[in-house]
């Protein structure tokens, strides 16, 4: 506590009658001041406790925390109150502290105060019925409470021991030799486990690096199937699926005509799904036989058969359905992968 506060208080109270102070019961007394321990280790917490006796009709003011050379507060002050004799209040105040300096650490002397309760409330320094007021507000407005009186709390000391042993301090601290760390006293299970983890990490990193290198080596070759090859494979898959042998003849012919339609549409850019099968066959017939397409008449017959199955009551036997697909394959195999549009561009 700064001594200037005490000086200012005495100046502010200079005009107060001394006789009244002498005859009246002291407003505040310091009954005890003690440390929680005589010796602590560096960095340990400790407490300084004080016991105050506050007269009736008075309000006490004490610091919220303590700080000094070699120590600092570890939180605000904690206090409790009990009733005492002659209407006095017994205050127990505990200051949590922490030391950061080796050797003797001294908590210096500091002051506590007490003032008339009504006067303190009128000055805005305490609440109604409170036994303790705001110390910070009291320091700033000490001239507004001429009834205030102070008492000094004596200093206290504590010994802060080093975390190092006395032999280590005397001989000097040095790192442990390699023999102590890597010698025969090591934990072999822990060592083997560390090696196992290390080898696992290296193996995973090697596999990842190899995959990354293969990815960076060049683009993957992608085989692109021609429309002709794709149509032939789809017809073979349709026969293997066996719809025509399980009573699903209509679905069989619907899919076969769809496969052929997609293939024929790929032969000319202007042909598309908007064309009916009849329109598609008519346009194909107009092209006639060329280097890219054989005679379209056999294909037209097979497409008419498929239309009769899809929209009529015709239901060929399984052998007839397979013969239908065989004839479709034969016509597609005679075609070329070059589209009619490309042939026309070459002729031009």
Judge whether 167 lies within some domain: no
Lowest mean per-residue pLDDT among 57-66, 217-226, 321-330:
217-226
Exposure string for 195-228, b = 16+ CB within 10 A, e = fewer: eeeeeeeeeeeeeeeeeeeeeeeeeeeeeeeebb
Six-digit token string for 63: 């610091």
Show which of 161, 183, 211 is a domain's final residue.
161
Six-digit token string for 169: 């301090």
Judge whether 193 lies within some domain: no
The whole-angstrom separation of Cα 236 and Cα 256 is 10
Show which of 112, 145, 161 is a domain's final residue.
161
Q: Note whether 50 and 157 are same-domain residues.
A: yes
In degrees, rounded to 5, the angle at the alpha carbon of residue 23 between the alpha carbons of residues 17 and 28 is 90
Would you say how long the chain is, in residues? 348
The whole-angstrom separation of Cα 58 and Cα 47 is 26
Which residues, at least 6 apart from 65, have a Cβ–Cβ distance to it below 8 Å?
73, 75, 76, 77, 95
The whole-angstrom separation of Cα 182 and Cα 297 is 91
pLDDT at 183 over 80: no
Show which of 139, 161, 183 is a domain's final residue.
161
Judge whether 195 lies within some domain: no
Q: Note whether 155 and 242 are same-domain residues.
A: no
Q: Note whether 140 and 7 are same-domain residues.
A: yes
Q: Note whether 250 and 154 are same-domain residues.
A: no
Judge whether 174 lies within some domain: no
Q: Note whether 70 and 154 are same-domain residues.
A: yes
Which residues, at least 6 apart from 143, have a Cβ–Cβ distance to it below 8 Å?
8, 12
Q: Note whether 153 and 247 are same-domain residues.
A: no
Backbone angles phi, psi at 113, to 5 degrees: -135, 160
Six-digit token string for 222: 């992608």
Q: Note whether 27 and 143 are same-domain residues.
A: yes
pLDDT at 233 over 80: yes
Judge whether 248 lies within some domain: yes
Q: Count the domains in the chain.
A: 2
Q: Note whether 8 and 157 are same-domain residues.
A: yes
Residue 295 gets which letter from DSSP?
-
Which residues, at least 6 apart from 58, have a Cβ–Cβ distance to it below 8 Å?
27, 28, 114, 115, 116, 117
Judge whether 88 lies within some domain: yes
Exposure string for 66-100, b = 16+ CB within 10 A, e = fewer: beeebbebeeebebeeeeeeeebbbbebebbbebe
Give the model confidence (pLDDT) of 84-135 as tens digits: 888 899 999 999 999 988 999 999 999 999 999 999 999 889 888 889 998 9
pLDDT at 64: 93
- Give the bridge partners for 33, in sequence order: 50
Judge whether 53 lies within some domain: yes
Give the model confidence (pLDDT) of 36-93 as tens digits: 999 998 888 999 999 999 999 999 999 999 999 999 999 999 999 999 888 899 999 9
pLDDT at 324: 86
Q: Note whether 19 and 144 are same-domain residues.
A: yes
Judge whether 253 lies within some domain: yes
- Of the chain, the end-to-end C-alpha distance in Å amounts to 108
Residue of 252, 248, 241, 230 lying closest to 329 (CA atoms): 230
Q: Note whether 39 and 151 are same-domain residues.
A: yes
Is 0.85 surpassed by the pTM of this model? no
Structural domain harbouring 73: 3-161
Q: Given pLDDT bands bounded at 50, 70 and 90, which one contains residue 168?
A: low
Give the model confidence (pLDDT) of 263-309 as tens digits: 887 877 667 676 677 777 777 777 666 546 778 888 888 888 888 88
Q: Note whether 30 and 141 are same-domain residues.
A: yes
Q: Note whether 131 and 250 are same-domain residues.
A: no
CB 266 within 8 A of CB 310: no
């Amino acid at each position: 506590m700064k001594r200037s506060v005490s000086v200012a208080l005495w100046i502010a109270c200079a005009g107060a009658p001394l006789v009244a102070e002498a005859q009246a019961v002291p407003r505040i007394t310091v009954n005890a001041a003690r440390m929680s321990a005589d010796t602590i280790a560096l960095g340990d917490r400790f407490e300084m406790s004080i016991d105050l006796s506050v007269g009736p009709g008075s309000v006490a003011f004490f610091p919220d925390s303590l700080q000094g050379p070699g120590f600092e507060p570890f939180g605000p002050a904690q206090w409790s109150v009990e009733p005492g004799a002659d209407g006095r209040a017994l205050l127990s105040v505990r200051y949590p502290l922490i030391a950061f300096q080796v050797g003797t650490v001294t908590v210096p002397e500091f002051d506590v105060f007490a003032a008339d309760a009504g006067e303190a409330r009128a000055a805005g320094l305490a609440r109604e019925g409170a036994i303790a007021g705001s110390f910070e507000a009291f320091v700033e407005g000490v001239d507004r409470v001429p009834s205030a009186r102070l008492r000094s709390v004596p200093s206290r000391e504590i010994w802060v021991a080093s975390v190092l042993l006395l032999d280590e301090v005397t001989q000097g601290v040095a790192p442990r030799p390699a023999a102590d760390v890597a010698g025969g006293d090591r934990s072999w299970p822990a060592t083997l486990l560390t090696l196992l983890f290390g080898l696992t990490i290296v193996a995973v990193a090697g596999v990842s690096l190899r995959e990354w290198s293969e990815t960076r080596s060049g683009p993957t070759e992608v085989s692109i199937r021609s429309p002709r090859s794709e149509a032939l494979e789809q017809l073979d898959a349709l026969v293997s699926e066996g719809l025509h042998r399980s009573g699903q003849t209509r679905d069989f012919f619907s899919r076969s005509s769809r496969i052929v339609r997609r293939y024929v549409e790929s032969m000319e850019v202007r042909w598309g799904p908007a064309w009916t099968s009849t329109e598609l066959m008519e346009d194909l017939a107009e092209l006639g036989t060329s280097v890219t397409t054989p005679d379209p008449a056999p294909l037209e017959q097979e497409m008419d058969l498929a239309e009769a199955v899809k929209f009529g009551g015709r239901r060929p036997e399984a052998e007839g359905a397979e013969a239908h697909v065989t004839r479709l394959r034969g016509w597609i195999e005679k075609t070329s992968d070059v589209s009619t549009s490309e042939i026309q561009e070459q002729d031009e």
